[in-house]
Structure 1
C-alpha cells in the first residue's frame, strides 16, 4: 500500500507493493507536478491547462513576465508587487473649471497601469509643481478605472491644491480599496482651475501595494 510523506503528501511505495517502477514514478511525478512553478505563455494558456487550480499553486506567465499564485479567494494574483511609477517633466495648462484628463501643451499620455495586489488595496500618490495665473485655485487629482468602469473619480477631496501665481510643489496620498486582486487598473491624472490658467509640470503618479 502506497504511503504518503508527512508534509507534502507525496506518494512512495512500501516493501509489500508490486515492484512496478514506472507506475510508482508516475504517481510521484503527478503529485509533484502541481507543486512546482508551472510555466505558460500567458493567462489563457494557463487557464486552458490548469482547469481546477488549488490555493498555493504558482505559475509563471511569459506574458506579462510575472509569477502568479492561486489565492484562497480562488483567484490568480501576482506573487510579488512593487510600486508602479509614472512621471513627466512636460509642462501643460488648463483653463477648465471641471476636471479634464488632458493638458494643453503636454502631449504625453498621463496614465499609469497597475495590477491590483492580492489584498485588493493600494496607496495612490500624485504630485506636481504647479501654479495659477490668477488668484484662483489649481487642483490636481486622478481617476482610477478598471477597463472603462470608473472605480474612483477625480475629486477635490482627493486632490493636491495650489493657490496663487507662485509655483509650488504639492502632493497627496489616498488609499484605493476594494480592488479585484490580479486585475488591471489605470490611473489617469485630472486637472482643473477655479479661475485663470493653471500650469502643471513635473507631474507624477505612484501606486504602492498594501500587503
Structure 2
C-alpha cells in the first residue's frame, strides 16, 4: 500500500506493493498535477478544467497575463500591484457639480478587479488653481459598469483655494466591493462657483489593494 510524503502528501510505493510502475507513476503524476502552476488561456478555460479547486492552487492566465490563486472560495489575483493613471494636459471647468471630463483634457480612469478583501485604497490629486479667490475640487467616482458605487464628494476631495497653483492630494478607503468584480475609478472635478474657472493639471488616480 502506497505511503504519502509527510509535507506534500505525495504517494510513493512500498516494497509489498504490486510491481505496476505505470500505475505508481500515474498516481504520483496526478498528485503533483494540481500542485504545480497550472496554465490556461483565460479564466473561463481555467474554470472549465478545474471543476473542484483546492485552496492554495495556482493558475497562470495568458489573458490577461496574470497569476491567480484559489482562496478556498474564489480565484483571486496573486500579489496585485497598485494601478495608476496620470494626466499631464491642462483641463478646466466652471461646473459646481462634479464632472469627469474637463475642457481640454480627457477623463482619467483606472480599471481594477476587486480583491478577496473587497477593499481598496484610492488616492487622487492634481495641481490646481482658480481664476478667482475660490476653491477647486478633485475627487473620484467609483463605478461597476454604469452603476455608481461611490460618488465623488467634498469629503473625499483634494482642495486648492485661490489663484495660485498648488499640488494637493487625498486618499480614502473603499470597502464592501464584490470580490473578482471589475470596477472603474474616474477622477471628478468641480469649481466652487460658476463664475470661477477651475484649472487642473498633473492629475492622477492610484488604486492600491488592501
TM-score normalized by the length of structure 2: 0.94
Q: Distance in 2 between matches of 1:31 and 1:151?
A: 43
Q: Distance in 2 between matches of 1:131 and 1:187?
A: 23
Q: Distance in 2 between matches of 1:44 and 1:37?
A: 17
Q: Distance in 1 between matches of 2:75 and 2:181?
A: 9
5 Å-filtered alignment, 1:19-34, equals 19-34=19-34
2:90 corresponds in structure 1 to 91
From 121, 124, 129, the equivalent of 1:126 is 124
The runs of 5 or more residues in structure 1 that have no matched partner are none
Say how many residue pairs are matched. 208
2:100 corresponds in structure 1 to 101
3-state SS in 2 of match to 1:175: strand
5 Å-filtered alignment, 1:52-67, equals 52-67=52-67
From 168, 171, 194, the equivalent of 1:170 is 168
1:42 corresponds in structure 2 to 42
3-state SS in 2 of match to 1:123: strand
3-state SS in 1 of match to 2:14: coil
TM-score normalized by the length of structure 1: 0.94
Higher mean alpha-carbon deviation, 176-185 vs 133-142, is at 176-185
3-state SS in 1 of match to 2:111: strand
Higher mean alpha-carbon deviation, 168-177 vs 33-42, is at 168-177
User: What CA RMSD, in Å, does the superposition of the two structures yield over aligned residues?
Assistant: 1.3
Q: Distance in 1 between matches of 2:21 and 2:117?
A: 44
Deviation at 1:207, TM superposition (A): 1.4
